[in-house]
Structure 1
Amino acid sequence: MDNRNDAKVAVLVDCDNTTPEILEHALSVVAQFGRVIVRRGYGNHATLANKWQEALVRLAFTPCLQYQYAAGKNTSDIALALDAVEALFDRRADTFCIVTSDSDFAYLCRKLRERGSTVLIVGEAKTPAALRNASDQFFEWTAPETPIAAAGPAAAKPAAPVPAPTPKPKQRPRALVNAVKLMAADTPDGRVHVGTLGSYLRRTDPGFSPQTYGHSGLVSMLKTYDLLNVRQEDGGHWTVALAADNNPA
């Protein structure tokens, strides 16, 4: 991962499109990219109340109330986009985290990236590919399951043990081998830094994550491939290359 600890991050939340529970996840995601200097939540008067009001106040977000001047017109989206462009041009932020699953923001993401900004999207599983691919990196948030409370006399009975979640089956997509083959061609020894490989995979697929394929991390995922050779170098970092049998001389 690139050294972005000094980046100035703006977190802009489309409150009309998502749920307050996503906020803490978004903040934990962007903490690795730099210092959050703009926190804003956008919505109409019905949205920015109750749970949203509590979450925005607790997590120090500035609520940006937008009235709907006509039915069906979402003024919140326009306000969010204008504030993002303003923060870009006055150099308050160089990294933008947009919390939404609305593909209408894909054009905004592309414009920010054209100006050299890093764009992150935190959204739900319903987020369309058009928005995911318009970002530098997509982070999917899944709502935690709420246990159902028993009613009546049954409530006094001890709760049945919750079964452990079934681990995802480990998958080995061929695209990873193809990426190593492509990148290794440009190195003198045919080896690729695993960190560089991870950055490349996220650029080609902003939603890429080893966990999606049932692995705890990229190194452990690479070790499952017979076609690849993974090695820890003297400096402690990991490199990967095509296995000898699959690396033409």
Structure 2
Amino acid sequence: MNPSASGSETRVAVLVDCDNVTPEVLEYALRVIAQFGRVVLRRGYGNHGTLAHKWQEALVRLAFTPCLQYQYAAGKNTADIALALDAIEAMFDRRADTFCLVTSDSDFAYLCRKLRERGATVCIVGEAKTPDALRNASDQFFEWVKPEAPEPVIDLPERAAVKAEAAKPEASKPAVKRRPRFLVDAVSLLVSDTSEGKVDLGALGQYLKRTDPAFSPKSYGHSGLLDMVRTYDLLTPRQEAEGLWSVSLVTQAMAGAETVPPSHS
């Protein structure tokens, strides 16, 4: 399934059960859901202890509306009920036709079934602990895996050597073209369900703009998106730690100007 290739733009609601998942999952959820359409609703639900502490920075930075729900009695989770009611309301007044629930709580399985009965598409972004009851109640499940710990920091002598090398004038050298890791991940995501293993450049550009409105190939030394995806890169451990791929030669031929195969380097 490649929803981004459809003619009409899909309206997506991203509803987060903040009491159930970690803030680290939020950026991943926005990346995977961007392939389905334009995100029109971003809401995070939780109690005061959750929203005022560990979730505050993530919700503010990623432009989510915090939906604070007080617990009127011990053991009662009013945030879950608020999330479910808002989802049903958004479906009936046609603000959204695709729903991404960020949770691992199987209590939302019934909500998923009701939304799908009414013709809505439902995706779940959850952790490995997500029960099968919730996974199977959705149209598509995306499992978030906590990233591994970063490599040790470079010691002082080596860091000084790196700075000294960077300070040397390199006027004679051409500008280094760089490609962010998220571009490779985006291509891999969009081609994962296609038979030919290719993605339309227009769809790729639209997806990248959804995930990062400020994205521009020129920021990475490229004249355009086509130049950016045609470049074959050689990855070093330090570049991988920085999340950027340094490129030197254009060696990958393309079948046509409109599509780009996924990178396996």
Output the TM-score relative to the length of structure 2: 0.56
Q: Deviations over 1:125-158 (max 9, x none)?
A: 00000000000000000111235979xxxx9899
Q: Does 1:10 align with 2:13?
A: yes
Find the partner of 2:29 among 21, 26, 29.
26
Q: Does 1:47 align with 2:50?
A: yes
Q: Deviations over 1:167-207 (max 9, x none)?
A: xxxxxxxxxxxxxxxxxxxxxxxxxx837xxxxxxxxxxxx
Q: CA deviation at 1:54?
A: 0.4
1 CA distance for matches of 2:14 and 2:3? 19
Corresponding residue for residue 177 of structure 2: none
Question: Secondary structure at 1:46's aligned position in 2?
Answer: helix
2 CA distance for matches of 1:49 and 1:7? 32
Find the partner of 2:97 among 89, 94, 99.
94
Corresponding residue for residue 37 of structure 1: 40
Q: Does 1:75 align with 2:78?
A: yes
2 CA distance for matches of 1:3 and 1:35? 11
Corresponding residue for residue 190 of structure 2: none
2 CA distance for matches of 1:59 and 1:50? 16
Corresponding residue for residue 194 of structure 1: 195
Question: Secondary structure at 1:24's aligned position in 2?
Answer: helix
Contact 2:43 2:67 in 1 (8 A): yes
Q: CA deviation at 1:63?
A: 0.0
Contact 2:3 2:35 in 1 (8 A): no
Corresponding residue for residue 128 of structure 1: 131
Question: Secondary structure at 1:79's aligned position in 2?
Answer: helix
Find the partner of 1:107 among 95, 104, 110.
110
Q: Deviations over 1:46-97 (max 9, x none)?
A: 0002230000000000000000000000000000000000000000000000
Question: Secondary structure at 2:39's aligned position in 1?
Answer: strand
1 CA distance for matches of 2:113 and 2:37? 21
Corresponding residue for residue 253 of structure 2: none
Change over 3 Å in CA distance of 1:35–1:156 after alignment to 2: same
Where in structure 1 are there 5+ consecutive unaligned residues? 159-192, 196-235, 237-249
Give the AA of the match of 2:39: V
Corresponding residue for residue 142 of structure 2: 139
Give the AA of the match of 1:135: S
Output the TM-score relative to the length of structure 1: 0.60
Where in structure 2 are there 5+ consecutive unaligned residues? 159-193, 197-258, 260-265
1 CA distance for matches of 2:143 and 2:3? 23
Corresponding residue for residue 166 of structure 1: none
Corresponding residue for residue 216 of structure 1: none
1 CA distance for matches of 2:123 and 2:134? 10
Corresponding residue for residue 202 of structure 1: none
Contact 2:3 2:37 in 1 (8 A): no
Q: Deviations over 1:189-227 (max 9, x none)?
A: xxxx837xxxxxxxxxxxxxxxxxxxxxxxxxxxxxxxx
**Which residues of 2 match residues 199-238 of structure 1 at below 5 A?**
none
